Structure 1
């Protein structure tokens, strides 16, 4: 999907950004994905459902945010990733998502705490409320947004930014809409963003080591980091020892 469509679809300028849990990289690495590409898809997909849920975008033209349309942002082959996104699929299994028909139509603050107004509550108040979507419409609730610690309420990334990393929606769109980056580029950008947060925006590592941590080859890492630099999303400098080029030092712009 192109940049202009995504900006309108995601209501950029009116919505708030979301945080991603740092543990997502370790958790996804334990999942039985069919490929590195699919692992990256799962990360990008989770970011998008967090953003849509947190901003209660379902409260507008609900059917715009069907699972079909969300997946189409990343791939035209829905069947290839259905094992990740379906009800009871991989993301449901590892505790990152829950398939539900009860979606947020609004959000508000109650005593300083973020709360969501859900469609089932609204239908109790307005029994004859017309649906603007198919009867089988369902969404993915981002569980880590709500709770991260043994199901304790209000401990998720919507409430606490501790041990999280942020990807501004403008950067999400810039990366996803770029044909050379896509969801793989987003995954790599997210990992570098997390590490830059930990190391005062100076993350020192070789491309070979970074590829090993992320789960791809040095060649793949070099290709994607170069493109991220070309788009002014990250920057890097070289570290020299005894006049030899060694590690790179990455920073988020």
Structure 2
């Protein structure tokens, strides 16, 4: 999907950015994915369902946000990643998502606390309300966004930014719509963003070490970080000691 379509589809001008839990990288590394690309897809997919849920985009043209359309943002082969996104798939089993037919059609603040107006509540009040989607329509509720610690309500990333990293939706679109980056580029950018938050926007590391941490080769890491720098999303400098270039220091622009 191209950049202009994604901006309109995600209602960028009127929407709120979301935070991602820092533990997602460690949690995804423990799951059994068929490839590194699929692990990156899971990260990007989770970001997108968090964003759509938080902004209650289902309250408009609901069918636009079907699981098929969401997955199509990242891959044309839905079947290859169905083991990740299906009911009781990897993300459900990790307690990152829950498959549900109850979805938010609005959001509001109640005494400073974010609340959602859910479709089932609305249909109880207006029984004659017509569905604007297929009877088989379902969504993925992002569980880490609502209940993160001890599964208590209002402890998720929608409510507490503790130990999280932010991805602006404009950066998400720029990365996802770039043919040389896609969901792999987003995963790498997200990891660098998290580490830059921890180290005052100066994350010192070699590409080989960075590749080890995220699960790819040094060559792959070099290719993607170079492209992120070309798009002015990341910048790096080299530390020089005794006339030798050593680690890179990454910063988020």
Tell me the TM-score range normalised by the shorter chain: over 0.9
> How far, CA to CA, are the matches of 1:151 and 1:213 in structure 2?
28
1:149 deviation in Å? Answer: 1.0
Q: Is 1:107 the counterpart of 2:96 in the alignment?
A: no
Q: Identify the residue that residue 89 of structure 2 maps to in structure 1.
A: 89
1:1-253 matches, within 5 Å, as 1-253=1-253
Cα displacement string for residues 154-181 of structure 1 (whole angstroms, at most 9, x for unaligned residues)? 0000000010000100000000000000
What secondary structure does 2:114 align onto?
strand
Give 1:13 deviation, angstroms.
Answer: 1.1
Distance (Å, rounded) in 1 between the aligned partners of 2:242 and 2:83: 50
Q: Describe the superposition over 1:51-78 as per-residue Cα deviations: whole angstroms up to 9, x where unpaired.
A: 0000000000000000000000000000
Q: Which runs of 5+ in 1 are unaligned?
A: none
Q: CA deviation at 1:109?
A: 0.3
TM-score w.r.t. the length of structure 2 is: 1.00
User: How far has the Cα of 1:151 moved from its partner?
Assistant: 1.1
Cα distance in structure 1, aligned partners of 2:140 and 2:150: 19
Question: C-alpha separation between the residues in 2 aligned to 1:151 and 1:103?
Answer: 19
Q: Distance in 2 between matches of 1:241 and 1:38?
A: 38
User: Post-superposition, which runs of at least 4 consecutive aligned residues in structure 1 deviate over 6 A?
Assistant: none
Superimposed CA distance per residue, residues 173-200 of structure 1 (whole angstroms, 9 cap, x where no aligned partner): 0000000000000000000000000000
Distance 2:230 2:111 in 1: 45
Instruction: For residue 154 of structure 1, give the secondary structure of its aligned residue in structure 2.
Output: coil
State the shift of 1:92 in Å. 0.1
Separation in 2, partners of 1:240, 1:80: 45
CA RMSD of aligned residues (A): 0.3
Q: Supply the distance in 2 between the matched residues of 1:151 and 1:235 (Cα, whole angstroms).
A: 37
Gaps of 5+ in 2: none
Aligned mates of 2:30, 2:241 — CA distance in 1: 36
